[in-house]
Amino acid sequence: MSPTVFRIGQYRFFFFSREENRKHIHVVSGDGEAKYWLEPDVELSTSDGLNRKQLNKLQHLIEEKKDEICKKWDEYFKR
């Protein structure tokens, strides 16, 4: 299961249900996908198919919504 946290434009931001404990978010679009760590700071973990401009845009969006994402992480994973 991979619950969607939100969508912005062509991007879907989501969690995987059974994955590592360190807070992170996955992003996917028709162009590719990426994974960003949320702690201690927002940082790109992996990406495939997305260009630097897209990755920078995604990092900025995640930084803006970090509190909301972390809250949803805690709710979903019951922390």
pLDDT at 16: 86
Per-residue pLDDT band at 21 (split at 50, 70, 90):
confident
Q: Is 62 exposed, middle or buried (0-12, 13-18, 19+ CB in 10 A)?
A: buried
pLDDT at 46: 97
**pTM score, whole prediction:** 0.93
17 has a pLDDT exceeding 90: no
What is the arrangement of strands in the sheet containing 4-8, beginning at the earlier edge strand? 4-8, 11-14, 24-28, 33-37, 43-48
Q: Is residue 53 a contact partner of residue 34, using CB atoms and an 8 Å limit?
A: no
Rounded mean pLDDT of 27-31? Answer: 97
41-44: long-range pairs with CB below 8 Å, 24+? 42/66
Higher-confidence residue of 2 and 10: namely 10
Q: Look up residue 10 and give its amino acid.
A: Q
* Domain of 29, in residue numbers: 4-76
Give the number of domains in the chain.
Answer: 1
What pLDDT shows up at residue 1? 65
